[in-house]
Structure 1
């Protein structure tokens, strides 16, 4: 009955958000799930031939007391109990356990215990499930500096343990193009004359999102405009100074001519 309910929930699309997969067949596997999303855990290859097994979560209380809560009990290929059947589905034929609508409390250490036909433990495995909030959006802020360099800041909303990376025209930025920072920080400064499609990517274990900046060329244009403006101003004042000198010389020449006339009289 619980398996049927779980299947119906999947068909109706109860699961939503980011879906991740983790191979938990190796002892001590590290798995990640997105908050509000779905995780598919590969617990074993084929559970149909196993006599009995249980799957539990170990939690620590506020008083540092370790408690174990059994989630799944399967005996002779029959699901006897699934305490989260309203948002999960276990498939014995391929050994996958799917959990939907993940919450923070789903994170923790899980243990799979397999029993043989005599009721003795034949195998024990654990996996660690970490829940992370996915990155929801990325904001890119750029600032043109006086010499044509560009300072760029990349920030993200949501997302636990974000990691940053930068590309220019689809390739990783080089040290020759960076004035400060590196491709794994969220703040960089690009040297002048660097142009192209700059992309900042933010990721964690459950999500990845990117945004690009088209203002690189604008910084170069601004720098060129500033240089041309300075050249223009310099040329203008040089012309004004030259013109002033020419006018002054002409006036002095006229004054000297007048004096000469007066002496002849």
Structure 2
């Protein structure tokens, strides 16, 4: 079935467009190609100086035969090209069965084998797209899930504002997995990258906190409260709340209290002064009204009557 799919892809000229390169001049090299894409394998420096060479698949199936600059046979000629001048073998429209161990054998002019080396070619489907899903948990933590379409053996990595996520920002989960939980105060540009050996795709999303604040105070009855609460419905520590991100300025409050106290004391002093002034005025009035009046005419005085 994969061979038929590969043939259809080749005939229609359709390709994922992913091209990889691998230098196979070292023995036992690991190479990767993208499913439906192209791989360029460097088999040798140049074939012009090699008397005879043979490239086999899984040790038994002959793929390429050649003598110096002349290609004797190429069993994959429908979708591959060998360039003797630079020693590269290009395979297009890769299919799963292209993944195998390949062996290059070199012979001298006497027909004796003078060298041999192998390479392992693995075929992987490239990652096509990445999706991010976020959700708030009961205590204000944020659950983030990163999912990808396609892609064999995907590997995940996370960054926040261009920097790798730290353990201090994670409540749970590993920054190399596709599911993480962020702490309550984490916000910024979150990026999930998904990669394998033939592709690398990322997704960015701007995240903000879930609206929780951290309160830490002691109530009048001595109860200590230290926890994360939803800011919009919080009724705890209203006057005493202190949070890591919001510090109450006690200087202004102290000045206000002192001013109010001074105003109260001044009002009391003024009231007392007014009271005593009123009291004194009233006393003087009573004293004046009770004092006996002296008549202007001496004949009506007590002394005249006595005489």
Q: TM-score range by the shorter chain?
A: 0.7 to 0.9
Greater mean alpha carbon deviation, residues 115-124 or residues 144-153: 144-153
Q: What is the TM-score when the length of structure 1 is the normalising length?
A: 0.75
* CA pair 161-118 structure 1, distance change in 2 beyond 3 A: same
Kindly report which structure 2 residues correspond to 1:82-93, keeping only aligned pairs within 5 A, or say none. 82-93=74-85
Rg larger for: 2
1:228 aligns to 2:220 (yes or no)? no
Structure-2 separation of matches of 1:165 and 1:31: 23
Equivalent residue number for residue 177 of structure 2: 185
CA distance in 1, matches of 2:85, 2:56: 20
Shift of 1:230: 2.5
Matched, 1:124 2:116: yes
Partner of 1:68: 60
**Cα distance in structure 2, aligned partners of 1:26 and 1:49:** 18
Q: 1:176 aligns with which of 157, 168, 176?
A: 168
Bigger Cα displacement from structure 2, 137-146 vs 168-177: 137-146
Give the match for residue 95 of structure 1: 87
Q: Structure 1: state its 5+ residue gaps.
A: 1-12, 59-66, 236-265
Q: How does 1:210-249 map to 2 (within 5 A)?
A: 210-214=202-206, 216-217=207-208, 219-220=209-210, 222-223=211-212, 226-231=230-235
Q: Report the TM-score, using the length of structure 2 for normalisation.
A: 0.65
Query: Is the alpha carbon distance of 1:189 and 1:14 closer, same or farther for their aligned partners in structure 2, counting shifts above 3 Å?
Result: closer
1:151-166 superposed matches below 5 A: 151-166=143-158
Q: CA deviation at 1:227?
A: 1.1
Name the structure where helix makes up a greater proportion of residues: 1
SS in 1 for 2:55: strand
Are residues 210 and 16 of structure 1, via their aligned partners in 2, closer, same or farther at CA, if it must alter by over 3 Å? closer
The 8 Å contact of residues 69 and 85 in structure 2, kept in 1 or not, is answered as: no
Q: Distance in 2 between matches of 1:167 and 1:54?
A: 47
Once residues 47 and 146 of structure 1 are traced to their aligned partners in structure 2, the CA distance between those partners, rounded to angstroms, is 67
Paired with 2:233 and 2:127, the residues of 1 have a C-alpha distance of 43
Specify every segment of 5 or more residues in structure 2 that has no aligned partner in the other structure, as ranges: 1-12, 214-228, 240-307
The number of residues matched between the two structures is 213
Specify the alignment match of 2:8 in structure 1: none
User: 1:179 and 1:193 mapped to 2: Cα distance?
Assistant: 11
Q: Which SS does the other structure have where 2:234 is aligned?
A: helix
Distance 2:56 2:48 in 1: 19
**Mapped contact 1:138–1:154 kept (Cα < 8 A):** yes
Q: Distance in 1 between matches of 2:91 and 2:32?
A: 12
Retained in 2: the 8 A contact 1:146–1:223? no
Q: Distance in 1 between matches of 2:37 and 2:23?
A: 17
Question: 8 Å contact 2:57–2:101 — kept in the other structure?
Answer: yes
Runs of 4+ in 1 over 4 A off after TM superposition: 13-16
Bigger relative CO (Cα 8 Å, ≥ 6 apart):
1
On the 8 A contact 2:52/2:106 being kept in 1, the answer is yes
Where 2:60 maps in the other structure, the secondary structure is strand
Distance 1:169 1:96 in 2: 42
CA distance in structure 1 between the partners assigned to 2:149 and 2:52 by the alignment: 45
